[in-house]
Amino acid sequence: MKIAIYNARSYDKQYFDRYNRQFGHELHYIDAHLDADTVILSEGAPVVCVFVNDPVPEPLLKKMRDQGTRMLALRSAGFNHVDIRAANELDILVANVPGYSPFAVAEHAVAMILCLIRRIVRAHARVREGNFSLDGLMGFDLHGKTVGVVGTGKIGSVFTRIMHGFGCQLLGVDPVENRNCRDLGLQYVSLPTLCRHSDIISLHCPLLPETQYLIDDTAIAEMRDGVCLINTSRGAVIDTAAVIRALKSGKIGYLGLDVYEEEEDLFFEDRSNTVLGDDVFARLLTFNNVIITGHQGYFTREAITNIAKCTLANVAEFEQSGQCVNQLLAP
């Protein structure tokens, strides 16, 4: 089956080519993002494949349908960048990769915590300049601290297990309680209670209408002074302006971000020779207690392998049956 793969990076091509040998799909790589100007490049392809930074609104879906697209294959678990309801109405099947590697993202969140609370980045920069002073580098033990986990699905449950291994007290927020997390001693509470009692808060929830700007001025006001906040889920789960105010006041003592609300116009490209036009993002970069990575939490060999395998298998299942076990339906 012909698949038009947009925003294809070198690593995408490497892994898709390797695992396509068992499927025999016709892979057509397109370096550009999918948008109104580039959609014509996939004309005649029954399957279009995109990543999280390619928004697919209704007008684009209509154009794709008119060009012969019958399936939209997502190289991601997240799907808030796609108008699922419109796709369903247009009879375009949308399938995602629901669990490519919860370990990758959970471990990245832990890495950010350790880098922040032990001031690893600053320490490394000092040593490179021959400065071996420890002044200003004092951290704190994770053992015995209270960690709040917002979202205890696949990624959140792995993160919970890791934090349990550090000897942390665990609080959680999720409308659906996870028995495995409860067995590790995690106590489910309300978001305000979690904010009041957590030394570290890590976000692992999907972006839904009810989770957009979940971390706002109200939630931040409930947090402990100097809290460590980590977001590896979706950028719009936090109100960035509110977070910047909290950084300035010292309410947030440490911030680790792998996602950003406006990342689709920023991440996954080399912009080192350009001036950043995003003033909010530029402001975040001025804080020495902030670590930002460019949506690389998922980026491990294991995860990219699973993404390639599952995406190709989704297409094969659709080709054979017209259905897919990972099909997404609007609520």
Same-domain check for residues 117 and 170: yes
Same domain, 95 and 118: no
Cβ neighbours of residue 87 closer than 8 Å, sequence gap 6 or more: 56, 61, 72, 93, 94, 328
Same domain, 205 and 241: yes
Domain match, 316 and 259 both: no
* Same domain? 233 vs 275: yes
Burial per residue of 273-304, b for 16 or more beta-carbon CB atoms within 10 angstroms, e otherwise: eeeeeeeebeebeeeebbbbbbbebbbbeebb
Q: Tens of pLDDT along the chain (331 residues)?
A: 999 999 999 999 999 999 999 999 999 999 999 999 999 999 999 999 999 889 999 999 999 999 999 999 999 988 989 999 999 999 999 999 998 889 999 999 999 999 999 999 999 999 999 999 999 999 999 999 999 999 999 999 999 999 999 999 999 999 999 999 999 999 999 999 999 999 999 999 999 999 999 999 999 999 999 999 999 999 999 999 999 999 999 999 999 999 999 998 889 888 988 988 899 999 999 999 999 999 999 999 999 999 999 999 999 999 999 999 999 999 8
71: domain CATH number is 3.40.50.720
For the chain, where are the alpha helices, taking DSSP H only? 10-19, 58-66, 84-89, 102-117, 120-128, 154-165, 179-183, 191-197, 217-222, 240-249, 279-284, 301-321
211/314 same-domain check: no
Same domain, 35 and 150: no
Residues 92 and 133 in one domain: no
263 is catalytic: yes
Q: Which of 295, 301, 317, 319 is catalytic?
A: 295
Question: Is 114 found in the same domain as 59?
Answer: no
- Number of structural domains found in the chain: 2
The active-site residue out of 70, 119, 234, 261 is 234
- The question of whether 234 is a catalytic residue gets the answer yes
User: Catalytic: 28?
Assistant: no
Is the same domain home to 61 and 35? Answer: yes
DSSP state, residue 224: P
Q: Which amino acid is at 257?
A: L
- Parent domain of 83: 2-100+300-328
